[in-house]
Structure 1
Amino acid sequence: MHSITFELETITPMFMYGADQNHAELRPPSFKGMMRFWWRAMRADDDVKTLSKDEAHLFGGTDKGQGRSKIIVRFLSYEISQILAPLLPHDLKRMPQRKAIKPDYHFTCNVTLTTTSENEKQELVAAFKCALLLGGMGKRSRRGYGSVSYRAFETIPQFIEELVTSSQSLSKIPFDQKNLPNAICLKKRTLNEKEPEYPRILEIFVGTKGLGRDVLLKKIGEASHTHTNPALGTVANKKRFASPVIVTVVKTAQAYHPVITKLTTHFPDGVTGNLQKQQDFINEVLQ
């Protein structure tokens, strides 16, 4: 076995709970689920059969012969620091504040890799890093909440270098980089958007315009409200469709920046939406 210790820091309030919905807590299963999601989205493999086999080999599965996960995540002894924070910072009347793990909270994460393969170790560590670079944990994690960092970033170019390096251990499809007025865009090269039908990374927009943390979270919430559309996620007619546009927050030495990942969109039966609304939302957050 090989163990790695990461010193983590919450960047934005984290609304994550166990059985007690009035007490925020860190949950290793949620963290592993996030790793698994981003491993799959970053890899973007057209061969679903091979993808599923490799995923079960690394993260475990319930089918015959799949075995246990090759990664064990533990949060070492800690005392949670909680605050009251708004789930909808742009609409305080609609949703009351809830208890959340506070920003700037430091905790230790121990990651144990049970595989003896050096390639698999590298892949699992890369999945861990990509999950934190692109995602968050808990409620509203697709709208900037629950963002966590495993290292300090002085600048946005430093963040992008770390992201590209980590992604290379997970995917054979490279990113093309393009400078936009308020962002740097990383776009997957030669990706089939329609097939196969599972969420894969299309583009990543890293905002270069820094803001205060609360100002940025409110801006994300306002943009989400303005461009409400099934293409940005919906729960209707007992069908849940998670937003294919995911926003997390990165902290640099100077400010807080949005990191927006646009995934391939695959509507479930009975759900349709306006895909232009996705780009409208992205543009407003980056303004």
Structure 2
Amino acid sequence: MAYQESGVTAVAQSSYPLVLLTPAAIHGADPREKAEFRLPSLRGVWRYWWRTLQDEPHHEKLLAKEEEWFGGTRKTKQQSPVHLTLARAMEGTMRENILPHRTSPTLVPALPAGGEVTVTLSVRKRHQERLAQYDWHFQYMLHLASFGQRSRRGFGAVQWTEHQWDHVEEYGESLRMTLERIGAADAFSFAERGCLVARREDIATPHPVLSAVWVGEGKESAAEVVKAFGRASHEANRYGSLGYMRGKEGKLSSPLWCTVRKIGGRYYPIVTEVRNHDSRYSEPRYERDRNRFLEIVGVRI
């Protein structure tokens, strides 16, 4: 990663060339006809993953800190110190099946796997000292996240071109180092295989925070991993403990965020548990269903 400074525009910036490992169904201006890589979607996911490292139990204090980082309009309009830009637009009209584990396909417009896009983070010169922390949080997201429709089940997986890991242990070490640079590593224990990251103490927040990260069995293709995620979601979530529809109350999001990363020439399932202090996570059914999900995607429990 290179830091650049422009005396003309008085900004400091760093760029991230990204490659899509799996198709991304990111809604654009015409979601029925076209998918497009959108900065608001990226920024929303980035804010979400930033929040997963915030152990603040008080909602108002959390929102105040988040607006300081990313801007907001709650009380007075506050502009974020960090800005995102794209080198060029990325659009796609090809239709992809976002439920590959089912016999009947569900086709939606998507950006194809293999597509490349460069995202640049920039801050005004007076905020230059903050760029490093924005970078580390951005890289944390790039270890674990996906984007767009079905992003929690492996679609929209992107990899930063500088993330070139030769083996799983190297990926785990990269994630651990990133958490250290952020200042969050003390809250977790680390391992080389299986459960790479595990929170040391009980969760006390009303918002979802990072609980654990698992890596499963590597596959020859990213498509195989996505298909396994779909099968695991279908077979292990019969009782809705891993996310379900609650009628008029809306959807309960899954606490398991699944993505794909290329490591040493193979494609690996990365499963991140993000949860709050809800009592349902302490129920035996949740742990049983979660472990069954992990087993299906090749995680050694």
TM-score class, shorter-chain normalisation, is 0.7 to 0.9
Look up the equivalent residue of 1:213 and give its one-letter code: A
Tell me by how many angstroms 1:104 deviates. Answer: 1.3
Tell me by how many angstroms 1:107 deviates. Answer: 1.5
2:132 corresponds in structure 1 to: 122
Aligned mate of 1:33, from 33, 37, 44: 44
Look up the equivalent residue of 1:134 and give its one-letter code: L
RMSD over aligned Cα atoms? 2.5
The residue matched to 2:53 in structure 1 has which SS? helix
2:243 corresponds in structure 1 to: 233
2:98 corresponds in structure 1 to: 87
Are 1:147 and 2:160 counterparts?
no
Look up the equivalent residue of 2:222 and give its one-letter code: R
Are 1:219 and 2:228 counterparts?
yes
Q: Aligned equivalents of 1:186 and 1:160: distance in 2? A: 8
Are 1:209 and 2:218 counterparts?
yes
1:68 corresponds in structure 2 to: 79
Aligned mate of 1:3, from 13, 20, 23: 13
Q: Aligned equivalents of 1:123 and 1:130: distance in 2? A: 11
Query: Does the C-alpha gap of structure 1 residues 250 and 201 become closer, same or farther in structure 2, counting only changes over 3 Å?
Result: same
Q: Which whole-Å deviations, capped at 9, do the CAs of 1:47-76 have from their partners, x for residues lacking one?
A: 544432221101111122461122211112
Q: Which whole-Å deviations, capped at 9, do the CAs of 1:188-229 have from their partners, x for residues lacking one?
A: 223x32x22110111111225344222111111101000123
The residue matched to 1:101 in structure 2 has which SS? coil
Q: Aligned equivalents of 1:169 and 1:138: distance in 2? A: 28
TM-score by length of 1: 0.88
Tell me by how many angstroms 1:160 deviates. Answer: 1.8
Q: Aligned equivalents of 1:280 and 1:179: distance in 2? A: 21
Tell me by how many angstroms 1:116 deviates. Answer: 3.3
1:198 corresponds in structure 2 to: 207
Query: Does the C-alpha gap of structure 1 residues 273 and 92 become closer, same or farther in structure 2, counting only changes over 3 Å?
Result: farther
Tell me by how many angstroms 1:155 deviates. Answer: 2.3
Are 1:177 and 2:186 counterparts?
no
Q: Aligned equivalents of 1:114 and 1:233: distance in 2? A: 41
Q: Which runs of 5+ in 2 are unaligned?
A: 1-10
The residue matched to 1:167 in structure 2 has which SS? helix
2:7 corresponds in structure 1 to: none
How many pairs were matched up? 280
Q: Which whole-Å deviations, capped at 9, do the CAs of 1:229-264 have from their partners, x for residues lacking one?
A: 322111222222111111010012321001111112
Q: Which runs of 5+ in 1 are unaligned?
A: none
Q: Does structure 1 retain, via aligned residues, the 8 Å contact 2:20–2:115?
A: yes
Q: Aligned equivalents of 1:116 and 1:273: distance in 2? A: 51
1:161 corresponds in structure 2 to: 173
Q: Does structure 1 retain, via aligned residues, the 8 Å contact 2:37–2:89?
A: no
Q: Aligned equivalents of 2:55 and 2:129: distance in 1? A: 18
Q: Please show how residues 98-117 of structure 1 align to structure 2 within 5 Å.
A: 98-114=108-124, 116-117=126-127
Tell me by how many angstroms 1:124 deviates. Answer: 1.1
Are 1:51 and 2:76 counterparts?
no
Q: Aligned equivalents of 2:295 and 2:106: distance in 1? A: 28
Q: Does structure 2 retain, via aligned residues, the 8 Å contact 1:173–1:189?
A: no
Q: Aligned equivalents of 1:231 and 1:114: distance in 2? A: 45
Q: Please show how residues 254-265 of structure 1 align to structure 2 within 5 Å.
A: 254-265=265-276
Query: Does the C-alpha gap of structure 1 residues 54 and 208 become closer, same or farther in structure 2, counting only changes over 3 Å?
Result: same
Structure 1, 83-92 or 39-48: larger mean CA deviation: 39-48
The residue matched to 2:35 in structure 1 has which SS? coil
Q: Aligned equivalents of 1:237 and 1:208: distance in 2? A: 35
Q: Which whole-Å deviations, capped at 9, do the CAs of 1:149-176 have from their partners, x for residues lacking one?
A: 1123332222222212222233435221
Q: Percent identity?
A: 24
Structure 1, 34-43 or 119-128: larger mean CA deviation: 119-128
